Copies of this chain bind each other. A is one copy, B any other.
Amino acid sequence: MGDFNQAVVLDAIRRSQDGISRTELVQTSGLSTQTVSNIVRRLLKQGIVSEGEKTVTGIGKPRTPLVVVPNSRFAIGVHLDPSVITVVALDLTGSVAFRSREQTGLGVDAATMVARIAEIIEQWVASVRIPPERLLGIGIAVPGPIDEAMGTIVSPPLLQGWDAIRVREALRDAVGLPVLMEKDVIAAAHGEQWSRDNDDENFAFIYLGTGIGAGLVVDGQVLRGASNNVGGIGHFATGSTTPLCSCGRSGCVGAATQPANLVAWAIERGVLPPLINGADSGEVIEAFVELGRLADKGDPGARDIVDTSARQLAVAVENVASLIDVDTVILGGPMWHPVSRRYLGILGPELAARYEVRAIHGIDVTSSVLGEDIAAIGAGCAILDHMLAPKQTGLLLQD
């Protein structure tokens, strides 16, 4: 499946509105008639593409358009978060055919988590009776940084003990499918790009989860970097002197926007009641949602906390946008929704006033359309790209 020329052909078929003929494929790809013909024969035999109705235009052979068969193959996307497992299945067009989302609670060990992911996938496969050869593989999005060579997560803050586990290998062994591991923020950018399908896009995807990160799409390419760890913005300086970050410096944007910190300040100032079960529980997320709701309602204390963090984020986003020259900033991730209204109201005007190349182009600040499942969907898209897109992803597919 991994052949470059086949990817060129399949990508051209996928992108064609009403199908594309063999002759047109030869013209657009520069490949020989023989090569195109061999690839198409193979794709037809595998059921990945089908022939549409022949049309006759003028003299000569009738034109037979080729189209992709959406549900001939599926990609699985998984998002492993410290307390949530999300699993999706995507058809060849990237549409979600299946979705599962469950809270696991914090502190679940790696083996249990991998076993549960495998179970969810197997139950779905059994229920829809898909033969294994129609499953392309599993993309798994995890909190970064990742060690790509080892297939491990490096020092994950809320996944104690996980760095000793070869996640990619464990999941492959449990399910028996090829597995590709990707940093969550990069997966999210990948998913966003698929949903937009604009080849020349430039955007920064600001991902708000347990931590903060930025997925980057520049000149239509998802950036991965030297070790597939693009997107570390947690320690971007905001110019503010508070709060103190775990790295020892003051004013890092990660510390300034972390839900746990915002909730702690709100409790300190009496905006929110103290937590019953402590800072490591799911209660922080509920409290964060409540903080956002209070700020939206006009509570001055809540508004001050949320707006201050938004202004600090604006500095970091301005720096990211100036560095990579994007005209679009998209925000999303599991912790985005609670603060999205206040944040959007602050980020847009701040960037419009200060962005370095504002004389040349504006900058569009917007919410992701993909919602909470974005990293899982993006991880599935990475698998589809392995098959469909004629470019290197730079990711190791373990099979």
Whether B32 lies near A360 (C-beta < 8 A) is no
**One of A133-141, A188-196, A230-238, A287-295 contacting the partner:** A230-238
User: Does A398 lie at the interface of the complex (its beta carbon under 8 Å from any beta carbon of B)?
Assistant: no
Whether B202 lies near A225 (C-beta < 8 A) is yes
Chain B nearest CB, measured from A309 CB (Å): 15
Residues of B within 8 A of A31 (CB): 30-32
Chain B nearest CB, measured from A13 CB (Å): 17
Whether B30 lies near A325 (C-beta < 8 A) is no
User: Does A372 lie at the interface of the complex (its beta carbon under 8 Å from any beta carbon of B)?
Assistant: no
User: Does A373 lie at the interface of the complex (its beta carbon under 8 Å from any beta carbon of B)?
Assistant: no
Residues of B within 8 A of A237 (CB): 236-239, 251, 315, 319
User: Does A35 lie at the interface of the complex (its beta carbon under 8 Å from any beta carbon of B)?
Assistant: yes
Residues of B within 8 A of A308 (CB): none
Which residues of A from 286 to 341 have beta carbons under 8 Å from B?
A: 315, 318-320, 322-328
Query: Chain A contact residues: over half helix, strand or loop, or mixed?
Result: loop
| Known A218-B225, A236-B319: A324·B361 in contact at CB below 8 Å | no
| Known A226-B325, A235-B318, A325-B227: A356·B145 in contact at CB below 8 Å | yes
User: Does A250 lie at the interface of the complex (its beta carbon under 8 Å from any beta carbon of B)?
Assistant: yes
Chain B nearest CB, measured from A166 CB (Å): 15
Given contacts A31-B31, A145-B356, A227-B325, 14 further A-B contacts (CB under 8 A): A202-B225, A218-B224, A218-B230, A221-B221, A227-B357, A229-B360, A230-B325, A232-B323, A232-B357, A233-B319, A234-B322, A234-B356, A235-B322, A237-B239
Cα distance A94–B31 when bound, in Å? 30
Whether B154 lies near A227 (C-beta < 8 A) is no
Residues of B within 8 A of A359 (CB): 145, 147, 154-155
Cα distance A232–B361 when bound, in Å? 14
16 CB contacts below 8 A, A to B, read A32-B35, A154-B357, A154-B359, A202-B226, A218-B224, A219-B224, A219-B225, A223-B325, A225-B324, A230-B323, A235-B318, A235-B319, A235-B356, A237-B238, A237-B239, A241-B241
User: Does A214 lie at the interface of the complex (its beta carbon under 8 Å from any beta carbon of B)?
Assistant: yes
Whether B233 lies near A323 (C-beta < 8 A) is yes
Cα distance A202–B394 when bound, in Å? 12
A324 contact from B145, B223, B238, Cβ within 8 A:
B223
User: Does A216 lie at the interface of the complex (its beta carbon under 8 Å from any beta carbon of B)?
Assistant: yes
Residues of B within 8 A of A234 (CB): 322, 356
Chain B nearest CB, measured from A326 CB (Å): 6
Cα distance A249–B394 when bound, in Å? 39
Which residues of A from 238 to 253 have beta carbons under 8 Å from B?
A: 238-239, 241, 247, 249-251
Which residues of A from 29 to 55 have beta carbons under 8 Å from B?
A: 30-35
Whether A239 lies near B219 (C-beta < 8 A) is no
